[in-house]
Every structure is written in structure tokens, then in C-alpha cells.
A and B are shown apart, each in its own frame.
Chain A
Amino acid sequence: MRIPMRVGVGALLLLIALLAVPAGAQENAEGVRGTLTNQAGEPVEGVDITVRDAEGDVVDTATSDEEGAWSVPVPGPGSYEATLDTDTLPGELGLTDPERQTLSFTIRTGQNRTLIFQLGERETAAAQMFGRVAQSGVNGIKFGLIIAMTAIGLSLIFGTTGLINFAHGDLVTMGAVTAFVINTAVPGVHLIPATFLAVAVCAGFGGALEAGLFRPLRRRRTGLIQLLVITVGLAFLLRHVILFFFGGSRRTYLNYALQSAVEIGPVRLTPREIVVMALSLVVLIGVGLLLTKTRLGKAMRAVSDNRDLAESSGINVERIILVVWMLGAALAALGGIFQGVVVNVNYLMGFRLLLLMFAGVILGGLGTAYGAIVGSLVVGIVTELSTLWFPAELKYMWALLVLIVILLIRPQGILGRRERVG
């Protein structure tokens, strides 16, 4: 009678297992191994991997065979490192991450460990550097555009009222959080209409602040330092009310959260980042046109320049200041929403941006909108480029150093008029 299929397969497997056992017994000792393939999945042969022990003495060198496999037995459990000899790589191949040429690892008793060396197209060092600079540069422009949008309001408010608004960062956070609330409320609203609503709400809030708080204080002839400290208190209040209701964790919007990056030359960007950058540019150009081509913009510039003269030429200064506050708050809110889309939403996001805003605005020239844009772009680029050579934790520090240096050598900023700041 025919042997049942199951028994046959079982016997075959048993045979294989028996045959494999001797080889397996050998591989049960401590060791390290791996398989080298290129990006198409084809094995790479003839590459040397050297394993050294904790003292740096060479244990053994293995060469990858025609299946790309290599293995090095080690004398016992402990710490080791494996180095891939890049000279033995075929011409067009290189490590995708040159930093990971040597891998450190630990072997436990009886462990046979697998290491992975990623191979890909070999780039010249220059090409690689260019790629990283380009990526950082683009990240910097993206960051800078968002800072620019939020900073215009700060600069215009200073220009028209002389007040440095320490609460501006929290207006940014407020915009992002308002959009989040509208976006995640039941029934949820898509992010785009939520954005419009949030910007409108924040513009209203900015106007209310000006009409209800700062205008009466200005009328009372409150000193500027007093007003400054009041904005500090306001910032505290806003930030912690937001913390109270929103919580301390980072959240993202419901839409556009998960996207895969697109490669444009050496740069990788997600579609939302591209859209945010484009929109920021459009908004900034729009604000620029507003300031230069419209009557309102001309009036705003006039009030920034010389308030009394503007008033005497018939401009309603109080109304202009109200418009400036509303516009500034709207732009801040939009910037906050963009930052929330690109990164995430948390209660400190605005305050973190505030110092960068100061840096950008002072660098570009306090009081001018163009200065705010130029300065913010520079700050964004400096911040991101610094990560190429310095630890990422220090990236905001460079912007602040730029701020201090600029105040020393050219306090009126790049585009500012030469006036006494001391």
C-alpha cells in the first residue's frame, strides 16, 4: 500500500533534521554571522569582515561566499566588534551609512548572532555631504517659513505700538490647539475648514486683546516696560490654561498624519511638508503685497514709521493697530497650525518658537515685515544646518547666539534703519 503523504513528509523532515544536526551543533557555539546583499537583493561575494574582541585583538576574518553569507565563530561570550573592509567591496557598492562601518555587539553564552551591514550605491563623500546639506537646507527653509509667518505679527505689533509681545508664542500655540479641538471634535471637521475657523477665532482673540487690554492701558499712558511684563503674565496665563485643557502630551491632527516621503533629488519630503512650504510662501507673498500695494498696508507702514505723523495725516491709528493685532494673531495661528501639521501639537510649541521669532525678527530688523521674513529664514536655515556638525540638542542655541551677535555688531538688523537701540 502507498505510504501516506503525511508519514512520507515527516520522514523526509526527520532526515533533513538529522543531517542538519551536525552542522547545527557546530553553529550552536558562540559566533556572529550575516548575509551581504545589494539593494536588489542579490548576494555580494568576496567582502571581508573582521571581528575583534574587547581588547582590540583580531579574532578572525571571514569573506562572504557566493551566497553573500559569512560567519565568524568567537571564543566565548563577551563584547566584540565587526568591521566591514570597504576596500573589498565591489566598485559600485558602498555602505548606505558610512558611520556604521564597525558594529559593536555582545554575545551571550551559546548565542550565534546575526549582523546586518546595509549596502547600497556608493556615493562619493562629496555627494553624500551635498545630500545632507541639501536636506538640512530644505528643512531649514521649511522651518524658517513657519517662523517667518508667525514673526511678521510680532514685528508689526512692535512697529506700530512699540510693544514686544511676549505672549505671541502662545498665540501660535492657541491657533494650533484651536484647530486641534475643532478637528477632533465630534462630529470631526476636516483639517482645512478647521484651519479657517481656528484662524478666524484667533484673529478675533487678538483683536479682543488689543481692544480690551492694551488699548485701555495705552490710554492710561502705561509705560512700555510695564506693558512688557503684562504680556509676560499673559503668556503664562495662556500657556497654562492651554496646558490645563489640552494636557502635556504631543498630539497630531486627524488628517495628513501618516504620509510617506517623496524623493526630490537628494532631498526627502513628505507631501504635507511640500504643501505647507508652498502655502507659507503664498501667505508671505500675500502679506508682502498687502503691505506694499494696498492702502491698508501703506497705512500700517506709515504708523510703524512715525505714529504721530501718520495720525496727523488722517490715518485712524487705533483702527490700524487693531488690524495689526488681528492680522498678527491670524498669522501666528496659521503658523501654529502648519507647525502642528509638520511636527505635532503640544502646549510648549509656541514658547519654543518665541525665542526663535525674536532671533529672526531682530536679525532682520525689528519693525519691518520683510526683515522678519529674511531674518526668520536665516534663523531656520542656521538652526537646521547646525545639526550637521553639532549635536541636535543644541540646534536652537545657534539661533540665540546669532541673536546676541547681531545685537552686538548691528543692532538694527539686516534691513532695519539705523536708530539707537541703547
Chain B
Amino acid sequence: MTSTTQRSDQQATVGAGAPRGRRTDSPWGLVAVLVALLLVVMVAAEMIGVRSQAIFVEALRVATGPSAAVYALVAIGLNMHFGYTGLLNFGQVGFMLVGAYGIAIGVAILGWSLWPALLLSVLFAVALALLLGIPTLRLRADYLAITTIAAAEILRFVFRVRQARPVTGGVRGLFGFTGDFYRVNPIPTGEYAVALTQRTLWVLLLAALAAAVLVLASRMAGAWWARAVQPQRAWGALAGTLVGLWLGAGLTVLNPIPAGRYRLLVTTTHARIWGLVVAALIAGALAALARGHGRRGLTERRQSLAGAAAVGVAAAAVLAPAFYAVNPFPDDYLFALLRFSERRLWVVLVGWSLVALACLFVWALMRSPWGRVVKSIREDEDAARSLGKNVFSYKMQSLVIGGVMGAIGGALLALTIQTVQPDTFLPQLTFFAYTVLILGGAARILGPVVGSVVFWFIVAGVDGFLRRAAAVGALPEQYFHAGSIGAVRFAFVGVGLMLLMIYRPQGLLGDRREMQLDVQ
């Protein structure tokens, strides 16, 4: 049959020693589409008299905010299910539900503190995974999809019913369980901002230019100028230069030199001297690595990178003042990209730390023998079984791990919106998570993270544009009001999901060979 032969062809390529991690098809087409979309929105905004900068900042705020972290976590869980194990779990929102309710019930109903309540979330998730997995893991992918979506809806009905009100709060849900979380916030009260000063902008602009040149040089490896640039080393040099510029401007952290101006060869401040000292130390360490001292077994490529970086650090540190002197942007140029209150900063930090931990965990797991078995189950279950692996057990473990991550995402959601209601956890949240995962690239560690950030950036950007356009009357009033703009967002996601699956199912970071999408 056709499908079996296709798969064995795929396996032949995988086993043939193709370099691991190298993408066989480039994502730049998709990137170009996304950038084009961004430009279209911003230009359209300017044309109708809406400030595109406001839309951009708002989109950035959402894309780096707690929602993006929540969906990144949920998508990492889904990545474990669908990306690595090939389980088509359409009920991930059920795990979010039990995770959110776990923490809410723990604090609000049982009166526990935050950590035991979080443990309750995890326990709920494990229980749900076991309950769900034992009967259904032996089913084919499309049957599993239907079963999991049914199970998630059943959960929602049960949590919603009037009889459950003493435990779950019924339709109205639970609230008032986040006090502890915000009380342990160590960040002092105040406004925080991530802003782009004229210096940062100058550095970023030139770095982007240099990066573009290097990318081009890598692609056109045969051309004479590409060889001169030596892209292999140039990346190291660029990284080193950026570090050197930053250090050379002056470092105030842990500076032991007493404040004041000193006269060495030229008059400089104590901060700059300290910066030069640190830069010299770093350059020296890198040079030592390049020479082969220190950690044994550094590959030649890395040695050459280190050497180039050493040169970059040293040169940039010394030349920093000259570099900044030719900065064309005016001194008072300040572009505040993101603003946080201390509460929001706390949630954002906690959220993205959890995401980082989850990524680390998945990375370690998938590098291990366990991960390899799981991937082999995705590719050909029967082959794994014939080698003596208990396929069911591995699938169950994967379901549990992915489910726990989804539950932690749900708990974070509960802490962010400070209320849990069953009708928040509708099936469409699962499909949002799928869009995030597929956009970023399934079966890639950073896929869900990149996907979540890009997804929310686009959605918030389009949302913001439509709202502002409606507010200035550029769109017909009878169609574009508050309720219907939400509908546009969902319709947009639907179109996006369709186009992604048709034209680029591996998303931004994915590898086509790793996509197990045939079911027979």
C-alpha cells in the first residue's frame, strides 16, 4: 500500500546520516509572509489615521505577556503528545481545566497555600491522563481525537453543573485564590519599562545589518566576497563585538574602582576603566579557549569561533566611544517598548521562567534513550513493539508529562486572570494551542515558544488594528463592533491554521522529515 512505502522512504532518509538539526527546507518564506502581514497592517493603520506604533507596542505587550507564556506551556505539553509521540490529543484544554481548578480548589476550598495547591493541580493532571489514557491510547489517531475532545467536554459539563457548586463553584466558578501568589512578589512597587534608547537602537540596527550580510554570505557560500567574510568565524566575531560594545561603554556592576575621572592615556571615567578590564578578562578567556586550554574536547569550529569572539570583544571594547560618537539618533530618543507594573512583571517573570524550565526538561528528556524510544513509536509503532518496548507504557508516560505541562499552563492562566470558570475552557483553546504548536514547528524544543510569541503578536496586532479602525469609523459600524471583532480573530486563526497545514505544516522551526502525519 502506498502509505507504508512512503513511510519507509522517510525512514531511509532519516537513517542515512543526514546531519541532525539541519533544516532541509527554509522557513524564510513563512517569515516573509508574516513580515508582509505586519507591514500591511501597519501601513493600513497609518493610512486610516491610526497610530501604528500603538498597535505594534500593544501587540508586543501581549506577545511577551502572560497569555503567551500560558499558551507556550500548553503547546509544550501538546508538543510532547503530538510532536514527539504522534498522539492526536484534542482534549488538551481538559488538562488546562483541571490544572486551573486544582490550584483554585486547593486555595479557595481547601484553604491550602500556593505550593500544595499547585501539587494538587499536578495530581489532577496525572489522574486525568491515566483515566484518559488507559481506555483510549490503543485507538487510531482520528478516534483518539474524537475521544479526547469528548472527554474534555464531559469534564467541562461536570465542573459546570449546579450539583458541583460546593467544590467547583458551578457556572460562576471560583475566585479569590491568588492572594498568596501576589503577596510573595519580591519586586518593589513601581513602574518598569523596557525601552529602546538611541544607543541600543544604533547597536541593534548595525547588528541586524551585519547579521543579514552574514546570512547572505552563508547561503552564497561559493561567491568570492562570501569566502572573504568567512561566515563561520564572523558569527563569533559579531557576538564578541556586541559584548565588547556593551562593556566598552562602561560597566557599573560590581565596580571596585572608586568613582571619579582618571588620567591614563586619555581621561576616562571609572566605569569605562572597569568595563575595559572586564572586556580584557573575557577576551583573554576566549583566546585561551581558542588555543585549546581549558575544557578538553572543544571542537575546531568552536575554537575558531572563540578566537573570533575574543578579537571582537577586545576591539569593540576599545573602540566603543568612537562607535557611539557617530550615532545619528538624537540624544533624547526614547522608544518605550513595554511597560510593566510590579504585579505584571512578577507574573511575566514567573510565567516565562516556567516556560524555560519546561523547555529544559523536554530537551533533556528527548535527548535521552526514553526520548528516542518515544520518537520511534511515532514513526512506526509496530517496529518499536517488535523490539520489545512496551509501547502503551511509553505513550502513557508521554501523555502524563504533556498533560502535567498543560495543567501548569492552566494554573498559570488561573493566576493571571484570577478566576476560574468552566466556560473559559472551551475546545477552541485546544485548537489555539495546535495553531501555536504548528506555527512554531512541532517536534522542536523552541517551536511552541516561538509559535506562541508570533501567534499572539499577530492576533493582538490584527485585533488592535480592527478595534482602532472601528473606533475611528473606518469600518462599517453595523458589522464591526466589540463582539464581532472577537469573531474576526477566531476566523483569522481558522484561516491561518488551514493555510499552515496546507502549505507549511512544519511551521517556522520544524523539519518536514519529522512530521508524522499519515494515519494508516
Number of A-B contacts (CB under 8 A): 139
Closest chain B residue to A396 by CB distance? B157
**Is the pair B143, A236 in contact by a Cβ cutoff of 8 Å?**
no
Q: A98: shortest Cβ distance to chain B, in Å?
A: 22
Q: Does B505 sit at the interface, judged by CB under 8 A? A: yes
User: Given B139, B153, B487, which contacts A411 in the complex, CB threshold below 8 Å?
Assistant: B139
Residues from chain A with a CB closer than 8 A to the CB of B502 are 217, 222, 230
A52 cross-chain contacts in B, Cβ below 8 A: none
Chain B residues with CB under 8 A of A232: 431, 434, 497
CA distance A358 to B157 in the complex (A): 17
CB pairs A–B below 8 angstroms (25 shown): A224-B519, A224-B520, A226-B501, A230-B497, A230-B498, A233-B435, A233-B495, A234-B498, A240-B488, A243-B490, A248-B483, A355-B150, A362-B146, A393-B157, A394-B158, A397-B153, A400-B150, A400-B151, A403-B146, A403-B150, A404-B135, A407-B143, A411-B143, A421-B143, A422-B143
Which partner residue on chain B sits nearest A405 by CB separation?
B135
Between A217, A223, A359, the greatest number of chain B beta carbons within 10 A of the residue's beta carbon is seen for A223
B517 located at the interface, meaning its Cβ lies under 8 Å from any Cβ of chain A in the complex: yes
A226 to B438, CA, bound (A): 11
Contact with A along B483-505 (1 / 0, CB 8 A): 11001101101111110011001
Q: How far is the CA of A232 from the CA of B6 in the complex (A)?
A: 25
Instruction: Tell me if B143 and A400 are in contact (CB < 8 A).
Output: no
Q: Which residues of B contact A238 (CB under 8 A)?
A: 494
Whether A391 is near chain B, meaning CB under 8 Å from some CB there, is yes
In the complex, A35 Cα to B162 Cα: how many Å? 35
Say which residue of A240, A393, A400 sits within 8 Å of B161 (CB atoms). A393
What's the minimum C-beta distance from A233 to chain B, rounded to whole angstroms? 3
Total chain A interface residues with beta-carbon distance under 8 A: 45
Asked whether B136 is an interface residue with its Cβ less than 8 Å from the other chain, the reply is yes
Q: CB < 8 Å: which of A229, A237, A403, A421 contacts B491?
A: A237
Q: Which of A245, A362, A400 is most buried by chain B, counting CB atoms within 10 A of its CB?
A: A400
Q: Does more than half of chain B's interface fall in helix, strand or loop, or is it mixed?
A: helix
The digit string for A110-122, where 1 denotes a CB below 8 A from any CB of B, is 0000000000000
Residues of the B chain whose Cβ atoms lie less than 8 Å from the Cβ of A388: none
A301 on the B face (CB < 8 A)? no
Residue ID in chain A nearest B432 by CB atoms: A236
Number of residues from B at the complex interface, CB < 8 A: 50
Main secondary structure of the interface of A (DSSP, over half): helix
In the bound complex, CA of A391 to CA of B154 (Å): 14
Q: Is A381 an interface residue (CB 8 A)?
A: no
Chain A nearest CB: distance from B376 CB in Å? 18
Q: How far in angstroms is the closest Cβ of chain A from B73?
A: 21
Taking CB atoms and an 8 Å cut-off, the chain A residues in 362-397 that contact chain B are: 362, 391, 393-394, 396-397
With both beta carbons as reference points, the residue of chain B lying nearest to A397 in the complex is identified as B157
Min distance, Cβ A419 to any Cβ of chain B, angstroms = 10
Q: State the CA gap A403–B153 with chains docked (Å).
A: 12
Inter-chain CA distance A239–B147, complex, in Å, is 22
B-chain residues with CB within 8 Å of residue A400 when the two chains form the complex: 150-151, 153-154
B157 touches A394 (CB 8 A): yes
Distance of A237 Cα from B161 Cα, bound (Å): 30
Q: Does A148 sit at the interface, judged by CB under 8 A?
A: no
Q: Is the CB of A355 within 8 A of B519?
A: no
Beyond A164-B145, A391-B163, A422-B139, 5 additional contacts (C-beta under 8 Å) are A226-B517, A229-B434, A244-B484, A407-B139, A421-B140
